[in-house]
Amino acid sequence: MDDHRSHEGQRHQPEHAEGIPARTHMRGSHDHGTSQPEGHSGTAHGGHADHHAHMVADFRRRFWICLAVTIPILLLSPLIKDALNISDALDFPGELYVLFVLSSFVYFYGGWPFLKGLRGELRKREPGMMTLIAVAITVAYVYSSAVVFGLEGKLLFWELATLIDIMLLGHWLEMRSVMGASRALEKLVELLPSEAHLIHTDGGVEDVPLDALNPGDRVLVKPGEKIPVDGELVKGETSVDLSALTGESVPVSRSPGDGLIGGSVNGKGAVEMVIDKTGSDTYLSQVIGMVREAQESRSRTQDLANRAAFWLTIISITVGVVTLVVWLVLGHTFEFSIERSVTVMVITCPHALGLAIPLVVAVSTALSASNGLLIRDRSAFERARLLQAVVFDKTGTLTEGRFGVSDVVVLDGSQSKEEILALAAAVESRSEHSIARGINEEAERRGLEVAQPEGFKAVPGKGALATVGGKEVMVVSPGYLKEEHIDLENERVEELAAQGKTVIYLLSSQEPIGAIALADIVREESREAIAHLKEMGIQCMMLTGDSRQVAQQVAEDLGLNDYFAEVLPHEKSNKIQEIKGWGLVVAMVGDGVNDAPALVEADVGIAIGAGTDVAVESADIILVRNDPRDVSSTLGLSRATYRKMQQNLVWATGYNAFAIPAAAGVLYPLGIVLGPAVGAVLMSLSTIIVAINARLLRMPS
């Protein structure tokens, strides 16, 4: 691990930050249990993912089969035939029995998940949506079946079938959103290679699985390979890409005695390492453990529709039974009394309630997708309306995650800035290092003519040299100047270094002629995103593993309210907990594996779509366009969506204040009696109103 490991995450606040509440109560740190899927395969978690996949497939299959069977049910239902004026064409002997058989199939096959859910809710003594659906379809089925076999009344098979179809569709779409979170741990495990090159005492090398490694074993890591486990480099020099683990924006040099982390990517040097930790003790395993813990400990707010369904269930069943008893006591026939009771059940049939939220979500999901947003977790998307703080990862989120030239300094006056940059680009044109790429991209952007170098040679850990235009030119690090005792004092260079920028030097005949400062480039969109969020009353913060100087420079550039520097991945989730401890509803925006625990720990996790798969799978909302401005768009859409949900829920439940008493027969003295068919029409009208209202949802400007 780089020397950031020795630092605690430090919180710093730009001098110009305003509106930050006093933080006298901080949430304490917690020890996180660490665990690793057996054999690094993720098998233990795979069963959970398979269960969700099976449920999604089951609801999908039941929906399509029942939908196909519903078509003939509609065509054979007397109410539908009369409405379409096709009774003569479809009348045939035994048609009611065919209708009964088809409806029985839909009831038992399509309604099974809800009947099973009814049993589960009653066992827990928590009647809710499943209970209401099961009661509605059972009453409709039993009553309609009795009509087929002689009871005077109206058939409600078409209502039964369409209700089951809609509920199956809603549950299928809902279960699909659950799948992503269960894959997050598998994506983390995939960072590790399946095998390692074990070096035996006789010098032989054998490829062995990771679970065969033990502390003290010696392992060979070839160029470009992933480091298998945590350990210490003992032979060779290289650079290591830690971006997937720590958020470091540039490869970190490693030499004998330095630590290596499993899951990071080795550079161009073949090295040998001695294993320190294996299994659940490794750094990546600890991150995996924290992601699992955050997922399991996350509290979920109860869905508004479930609460409404609970009360509607109690009211529907109670009023239905009371209606039956009252009319019997008043001396009316059982046929009249049961029809009143069934009408109550049908009119409270949860078509509108079942669609009130899913339909709004479907519309908002389509709107968001067309605007570069993907909503994976419905409840988290609803929570986004309450956000008070947004915490951004730096590298790859607020910045582009690549080195770019920020400043060119002329040291001896013999060359212009463009000539300094062109000479450096000529030397670095043969290198694949991230600094070299940044210099060459800047030279290309400025349209500079870059000469072809001769005799290129890399100076390990120090830079590179080549002959350009007949002169020996070197591009070197500050360490080379110190090693060669080359004295250089320049106020501008010192200022750039103090800002945390990487400064490299251009030497001609061992004399410094120029300096080039490079930094992780801040996205232009980030400035607009932060400004918009602050206009919405949202506090904007940043987490980064980079140094304090780098973090401070970015925070002041963007006008952030607060920032945390030198924060390791396992500390990021703690920082989110700390911010939540201030009483704020928090969103985390990130793109790397190192952000996964924090994404899950936050009230709302938002992933940059161009980031690693695990960050995407650990997040609730994904920004496909890789544009931080979409964070404010997400908040606006969440607020608009919630308003629509409230409107639909009020209507879907509120219309019952009139419909239930009318269905129960309170208007009977006035000669007004609602039959089951009229109840079904009123219920359908409520559904249509809910659907139209949902379609009126628009993307906030």
Which residues participate in catalysis according to the annotation? 393
d(CA 606, CA 618): 9
> Which one-letter amino acid corresponds to residue 142?
V
The bridge status of strand 502-508 relative to strand 511-522 is antiparallel
Phi, psi of 694 (to 5 degrees): -65, -40
Report CA dihedral (684, 689, 692, 693) to the nearest 10 degrees. Answer: -140
Report helix, strand or coil for 85. coil
| Tokens read off for 627 | 């544009």
Give Cβ neighbours of residue 21 (< 8 Å, ≥ 6 apart).
Answer: 582, 583
d(CA 179, CA 56): 9
Q: Going along 372-508, which residue ranges are E strands?
A: 373-375, 389-393, 399-410, 454-459, 463-468, 471-476, 502-508
Report helix, strand or coil for 155. coil
The bridge status of strand 238-241 relative to strand 562-565 is unpaired
- Which residue, among 352, 332, 395, has the nearest Cα to 615 in the 3D structure? 395
| Tokens read off for 588 | 């985390």
The bridge status of strand 502-508 relative to strand 463-468 is unpaired
How many residues are there in the chain?
Answer: 701
Give Cβ neighbours of residue 154 (< 8 Å, ≥ 6 apart).
Answer: 78, 79, 147, 339, 675, 676, 677
**Considering all CA atoms of the chain, what is the largest pairwise distance in Å, rounded to the nearest integer?**
115
Strands of the sheet containing 562-565, edge to edge, are: 10-12, 562-565, 539-543, 389-393, 586-590, 604-608, 621-623, 373-375
Cβ atoms within 10 Å of 235's Cβ, excluding its own = 13
Q: Are 506 and 423 in contact (CB under 8 A)?
A: yes
d(CA 498, CA 492): 10
d(CA 456, CA 433): 14
d(CA 142, CA 160): 10
